A and B are shown apart, each in its own frame.
Chain A
Amino acid sequence: MVKSVLSSAIKEYLLAFADDEHLMGQQHTEWIGIAPFLEEDMAFASIGQDELGHASMLYAFILEGSPEIDAFIFNRKPEEWRSCQLVESNHQNWEEALIRHWCYDMAEDLRWELFRESSLPELVLISERALKEEKYHRRHADALVENLLTVSASKSRLMQALEKIVPEVLELFSSIPGETEAISSGLVSGKYCDKLPTWRSRVENRFGTLDPKLFTTSDYQARTKRHLDFAPLYGRIREVFLLDPKAVW
């Protein structure tokens, strides 16, 4: 690819997606060995690896063929990240991790859909690859949730987790830097927050009607302020890289 085809606003826009995918993948894979049963343990980490794969495709695209992808990801200052609070927060309860998986994956395909007719053909291909996997992520999350909602003790835990997670999802939809230019240049077909009603109806179809107040929180951090859980998370991500930053993997 020719250098610097992408403007800095477009890069910011894509970086927000890549960082979300990266941290979501990281969070899921951290359940390896401790998820509630063996099959789920493997499945959850495997889905996390799919998200890491999506992040990797986006980072490679943003860096336009540069071989310095690892250095770019692992040497960034916290304020240079564009991830949202939803993927930075560390949910140590299984019900919260599961609800976040459900909520994130019910939102993720709506985000990839925006790239379906992108002016950049490579992004169309990346989105098609991701959407193919996302279909199974949603089935996985929804099958587990559907089953757990039939048990009253599980249901009340899930509903509590949902009330905690929904406000974080609103920020995922609403504060993406570079979005105006991404739309005007034809990179994406529209605003992500226009998909929020679709997401909300998915939520309410599965969990029943929720308190409307949950959907009106507007304390957005605009993806520039890091969640308190980011620093330890970033530490875990960089642990091996920092052993020898010049190593070629």
Chain B
Amino acid sequence: MRIYEVFLKADGKEEFRHAGSIEAPTDELALVLARENYTRRAEGTHMWVVDRENICVSEEGFIDANLNKSHRHNDGERVAEWRKSQRNKKSNG
């Protein structure tokens, strides 16, 4: 048995989303079993099943946050404050 990850995409502009996983011995069985296990209530219009072995996994720490570059974590609050003060200045003066 192999483990497959199941992804579903709803109709329209929705992206594929992870729905869960499934155990199956072959690709064809993974497809038919995923169909019965994950799509019985019209959860999507497209499905991918991906053998977990074929997923490239980054090692631990590979994508940890870079703590010394705070400018990359700007939430826009300071800019919004500055713009608000500029607006107020204009309307007051």
By a beta-carbon cutoff of 8 Å, the part of chain A in contact with chain B is: 37-40, 42-43, 46-47, 136, 139-140, 143-144, 147
Instruction: Assess whether A140 is in contact with B32, with CB atoms less than 8 Å apart.
Output: yes
Instruction: Assess whether A144 is in contact with B29, with CB atoms less than 8 Å apart.
Output: yes
Instruction: Assess whether A39 is in contact with B35, with CB atoms less than 8 Å apart.
Output: no
B24 is an interface residue with CB less than 8 A from chain A: yes
A-B contact pairs, 27 of them (CB 8 A): A37-B1, A38-B23, A39-B22, A39-B33, A39-B37, A40-B33, A42-B33, A42-B36, A42-B37, A43-B32, A43-B35, A43-B36, A43-B37, A46-B36, A46-B40, A47-B36, A136-B32, A139-B31, A140-B32, A140-B33, A140-B36, A143-B26, A143-B29, A143-B32, A144-B29, A147-B25, A147-B29
Residues of A within 8 A of B35 (CB): 43, 136
Residues of B within 8 A of A144 (CB): 29
Given contacts A42-B37, A143-B29, A147-B26, 17 further A-B contacts (CB under 8 A): A37-B23, A38-B23, A39-B23, A40-B33, A42-B36, A43-B32, A43-B35, A43-B36, A43-B37, A47-B36, A136-B32, A136-B36, A139-B31, A139-B32, A140-B36, A144-B29, A147-B29
- B23's nearest neighbour on chain A, judged by CB, is A39
Partner of A43, one of B25, B26, B33: B33
B78 to chain A minimum Cβ distance, whole angstroms, is 52
Residues of B within 8 A of A37 (CB): 1, 23
B28 is an interface residue with CB less than 8 A from chain A: yes
Residues of B within 8 A of A39 (CB): 22-24, 33, 37
- B24's nearest neighbour on chain A, judged by CB, is A39
How far is A160 from B25 in the complex, measured between Cα atoms in Å? 23
Residues of A within 8 A of B32 (CB): 43, 136, 139-140, 143
Residues of B within 8 A of A38 (CB): 23
Residues of B within 8 A of A136 (CB): 32, 35-36
How far is A39 from B35 in the complex, measured between Cα atoms in Å? 10
Proximity string of chain B (4-29) to chain A, C-beta cutoff 8 Å, 1 when within and 0 when not: 00000000000000000011111011
B8 to chain A minimum Cβ distance, whole angstroms, is 16
